[in-house]
Amino acid sequence: MDQTSAAGAVRRSVVLSAPVEAVWAALTEAGHLSAWLGGEIELDAFPGGQIVVREDGRLRRGVIVDLEPLRHLEIRWLPASRRIGFVWGPDDEPAGSSGEVEFHLEPATTGATRLTVVERAPAALPSALSAA
Amino acid sequence: MVRPDTPKPGVVFEALADPTRREVVRRLAQGGPATATELAGELPITRQAVAKHLATLAEAGLVTSDRQGRETRFSFTPQPLADAVSWMADVGRQWDDRLQALSQYLETGEPRPKRRKPGFDTDR
């Protein structure tokens, strides 16, 4: 596994023994996604769509900021204060937390896919987040 | 504006992305507390520029100021940097787990067992 990580971003790159279509489905179809990730997931797989993850009484909400079928998916997690009008559970931080996850897919050898994941560190300042 | 108690890793990394700010941090970490004027005397930048960089570093929790009379001394506080580094390690470990789970799922089509779920926990 490739583990290079730039400051402020964690990057992982793996070759999965499944075609791009299967990997894409595993990332963008709620049933598949929750099967390997866990939790209860709702996902609108289009740019601007929402992702909602419920797990162990916690709720996380994100927005699909970019989606290019079979190639690229980018999710921005919303800070807790913008998730829903109430605090869901004790682990929900009350303010200013976010973060972004990006998935890049490319065909590797026949029937295999290189998947690269980049997670960028959450920033602290709600003003910067709402301006983004 | 709501200020969280501890600076988030993104802010810490952003503050340290600038080479001059890294130089200021290095100087404070190695040489001990200093005033903006002292720092400007040691680094190839103006006092105003030093003050601006110190403000950014303070926002990220990497420096604290101590005012004594007419003098304000700045010192390096390492904790946010340690937190940011451990954020990197935690997130890396989580992705290793998740990608392992994804790989297994794609190979077997079996959902992962109920209890050991890597989850999608992004807030720390």
A37 and B118 within 8 Å at the Cβ level: the answer is yes
Q: Give residue A55's pLDDT.
A: 84
Confidence band, pLDDT 50/70/90 cuts, at residue A79: confident
Q: Give residue A125's pLDDT.
A: 42
List, for residues B76-123, the tens digit of each pLDDT value.
Answer: 999 999 998 898 899 999 999 999 999 999 998 877 665 455 566 544
Q: Give residue B8's pLDDT.
A: 78
pTM given for the model: 0.75
Nearest to B8 among A3, A115, A122 (CB): A122
**How far is it, in rounded angstroms, from Cα A40 to Cα A48?**
20
Share of chain A above pLDDT 70, in %: 73
Q: Give residue A109's pLDDT.
A: 87
Q: Give residue A93's pLDDT.
A: 42
Could you tell me which residues come within 8 angstroms of residue A101 by beta carbon, excluding any fewer than 6 positions away? A74, A75, A77, A117, A118, A119, A120, B122
List, for residues B29-88, the tens digit of each pLDDT value.
Answer: 999 999 999 999 999 999 999 999 999 999 999 999 999 899 999 999 999 999 988 988
Cβ distance B120 to A37 under 8 Å? yes
Least confident segment among A37-41, A77-81, A124-128: A124-128
To test the contact with chain A by mutation, choose from B21, B122, B124 the residue with the greatest count of A C-beta atoms within 10 A, namely B122
Shortest distance between the Cα of B72 and any Cα of chain A, in A, equals 26
Sheet with B63-68, edge to edge strand ranges: B34-35, B71-76, B63-68
**How far is it, in rounded angstroms, from Cα B63 to Cα B8?**
15
Helix, strand or coil, per DSSP, at residue A100: strand
